[in-house]
Amino acid sequence: MSFTIHTNDPQSNDEKANKSVPFVETVVEKAPPWLFSTVVHFFLLIVLALLVSQFPPKPPREIILQPDIDLNDPRYAFHIGDPNKPDTLTTDDNPVEVENPVQSPDDEISDAPISVGPEIENPQTPGIGTENPERTPIHSLYEGRSEESRQTLLFDGGGDETTEAAVLRGLHWLARQQYRDGYWSLRNGPRNNSYDTSLVDNRAAATGMALLAFQGYGVTCEQGQFQDSVVRGWSWLLLQQDDEGCFYRSTGVETHNHPFYTQAICTIAICELYAMTKDPSMGERLRLPAQKAVDFCVKTQTSSGGWRYGLNDDESDLAVTGWVLMALKSGRIAGLDVPVETFDRITAYLDDIGEGGSKYPYLKGRFVTRSMTAEGLLCRQFLGWDRDDPRLLEGANWLIQPDNLICFTSRDEMGRRMERDAYYWYYATQMFHHFGGPHWKTWNNVMKQRMCENQQTSPGENEGSWNPILPTQDKWAEAGRLYVTCLSIYTLQVYYRHLPIYRSTR
């Protein structure tokens, strides 16, 4: 192909006119610029395609649940992937950076039906089980977390684009708070930002809570937008579990009440991960630490039927017991071995401390509270109470009163005295979601508005979190920003986090 180079040759127009112009040169001169550009780019694409085809395909990335440790140490025998390969995940001193913090609310919603999976082998599971056709089979409670089911359940259950955007903002904030080694902290983020009011640290509990938030969105070590965060979190957390199955590591100087809260939170998380894992080989390697965590909870049950702070506590409190019950139920959902007698003793404990079964205190003989009543009623739902049980209805009727609804200020619009309490809201939201009907609609209409409008949305390090001291101080602000934010994320995930227990109440 030849091209004519035009110069300032001062030959006459008649001489130029007498010379013959090649056809190709005429086309080049007359063609629009975009046509020439298209031809050149098309030619380059062909050349690049030929070059790429000469290289072998890149093998799929293998997920490794293993940080930089001594691989010969027998304590670290658990791994997912090849233990002889180095960690291929992020290893710099900064947390994982994320882009596009909010998913577009215009994403198409799937109408695909929700699968409840195959029947479990043991139908004698207390509470939720296959023996009662009016209740959701226990093995299917996590089915709403799949991407297809999540969108359907979100809108069917009363959520919307605003609640889902708030969840995603919260998850992105959590991803930014993860340390290089994979853990989270109750007190500080990796960029030297303090979480406002947290008085003590507990990395195992903080990591378990963060992982529960991601897993509630359907993220596992195999899939999901935040997969790397989950992989790195489990890489660290599984190394904290001792031979007995306990996740809590004491430094000998703590005086706080974290041990069994930590164990329950981490047990819920590992049982969820095991239940949600699709790869049989990966699941088989998760089964042992999950079963050990459950076994540790079972063998430490007190004579009164519940749990409290430490191993040597004879007394039980409902706050810790509720978390442990959810851990044991998570084990049941995953198909792990949990003795029926353990649930029977929890039922007896609730019978002993409850006020007619409808209201509950923190400790036996103490005054009843909203948070403990919500937690106690949720325990009853998981332990088998029917929706029309008059004790459950009486408790729900009390909690749905206007002065017990969610409010972030000291007084609501009507001047009623209120109290900010993310812990209470977390349990009440779950209980009402399972209860369904007008109670759920009333609670949800207030919950989703006030939870979303009080999330920090302005650009900055804390975008996506909930401030534990503003606009008013949360009752549990001493646990810090990460704690309050995780509870808030769980609350807004309620539409798909667990399928409703009572099938016919939506």
Task: Please tell me whether residue 107 adopts helix, strand or coil conformation.
Answer: coil
Give the residues across from 361 on adjacent strands.
368
pLDDT for position 198: 76
pLDDT for position 100: 33
Evaluate whether residue 469 is within a structural domain.
Answer: yes
The per-residue pLDDT for range 169-213, each reduced to its tens digit, is: 999 999 999 999 999 999 988 876 777 677 788 999 999 999 999
CB 464 within 8 A of CB 169: yes
Q: Which residue would you say has higher pLDDT here, 340 or 256? A: 340
Evaluate whether residue 235 is within a structural domain.
Answer: yes
Least confident residue range of 10-14, 429-433, 436-440, 470-474: 10-14
Evaluate whether residue 101 is within a structural domain.
Answer: yes
DSSP 133: T
Peptide bond into 471 cis (omega under 30): yes
- Count the neighbouring beta carbons within 10 Å of the beta carbon of residue 44: 10
pLDDT for position 36: 58
Residue with tokens 């103490």: 366
Residue with tokens 């195959």: 118
Alpha helices, H only, 157-277: 161-176, 203-216, 227-237, 259-276
CATH number at residue 219: 1.50.10.20
- Average pLDDT over the chain reads 79
CB 208 within 8 A of CB 224: no
On the CB side of 362, CA atoms within 13 Å amount to 8
Which of 93-107, 233-247, 305-319, 407-421 has the highest mean predicted lDDT (pLDDT)? 233-247
DSSP 313: -
Phi-psi domain of 357 (left: phi exceeds 0; alpha: psi -120 through 50; beta: other) = left
Q: Which residue would you say has higher pLDDT here, 364 or 11? A: 364
Which of 116-120, 252-256, 407-411 has the highest mean predicted lDDT (pLDDT)? 407-411
CB 138 within 8 A of CB 157: no
| pLDDT beyond 80 at 495 | yes
Using alpha carbons, select from 94, 333, 111, 89 the residue that is nearest to residue 226: 89
- How far is C-alpha 439 from the geometric centre of its chain's CA atoms? 25
Evaluate whether residue 400 is within a structural domain.
Answer: yes
The per-residue pLDDT for range 310-330, each reduced to its tens digit, is: 766 678 999 999 999 999 999
| pLDDT beyond 90 at 362 | yes
Tell me what percent of the residues of the chain surpass a pLDDT of 70: 69
| pLDDT beyond 80 at 333 | yes
How does residue 103 score in pLDDT terms, banded at 50, 70 and 90? Answer: very low
The per-residue pLDDT for range 452-481, each reduced to its tens digit, is: 999 999 999 999 999 999 999 999 999 999
Evaluate whether residue 239 is within a structural domain.
Answer: yes
pLDDT for position 419: 87
CB 175 within 8 A of CB 87: no
pTM: 0.75
* Rounded average pLDDT over 349-373: 96
Give the residues across from 411 on adjacent strands.
417
| 356 exposure class (CB count in 10 Å sphere: 0-12, 13-18, 19+) | exposed
The residue range of the domain holding 237 is: 74-497
Evaluate whether residue 32 is within a structural domain.
Answer: no
On the CB side of 137, CA atoms within 13 Å amount to 16
| pLDDT beyond 80 at 112 | no
pLDDT for position 138: 72
pLDDT for position 289: 98
Domains in the chain, number: 1
Spatial separation of the C-alpha atoms in residues 293 and 117, rounded to whole Å? 25
Evaluate whether residue 12 is within a structural domain.
Answer: no
Evaluate whether residue 123 is within a structural domain.
Answer: yes
CB 194 within 8 A of CB 114: no
